[in-house]
Amino acid sequence: MTSKIKFSRKLYVKNSQVEMTQLVLPNDTNQLGNLLGGRLMEWMDIAAAIAAQRHSNRVCVTAAVDELVFHHPIRLGEVVTLRASVNRVFGTSMEAGVKVIAENQLIGDRKVANTAYLTFVAVDENNHPIKINPITPQASEEKRRYKDALIRRNIRLKRKNTGKK
């Protein structure tokens, strides 16, 4: 049985925001001295999951990853900042966006290295999906991401229904 949640107050995107920082160490890199893609994906999943859980006050499980784009390699010794927030809620699921900024502190260079959108499902004590409070975007960038999240969801659902991955 799914638990009921009362939607008594507005929840804002800013309240789900997460900022996580990591230092790229030798154990995080490949033979070329670049951050392993899988390690970065793990960090992105954690940051997005924290945002989803912060919004829903529930355990959230990863359901999908969309548009994971590696713009630039991240090098050994760079500082990685991951910024995540919930973009939109769809009943029992929600989309969180993650932006990854790599910083070489020795030369003062910062760049957006990666971006992705992750879908999470909030679950109850019995691991059943549970309805999530809606999210209210305020800033213009939040409203754009809110609108775009519906477009990405419709594309995901269309692919799922046509069997195309």
Per residue in 16-63, pLDDT tens?
999 999 999 999 999 999 999 999 999 999 999 999 999 999 999 999
Q: Measured in whole angstroms, how far is the alpha carbon of residue 103 from the centre of its chain?
A: 20
User: What is the residue whose two structure tokens read 């990854």?
Assistant: 100
Indicate the residue type of 13: V
Domain ranges in the chain are: 13-162
Residue 64 has pLDDT above 70, yes or no: yes
Q: How far apart are CA 130 and CA 2, in angstroms?
A: 6
pTM exceeds 0.85 = yes
d(CA 123, CA 56): 10
pLDDT at 114: 97
Report the top-level CATH class of 13-162.
alpha beta
Average pLDDT over residues 103-121: 97
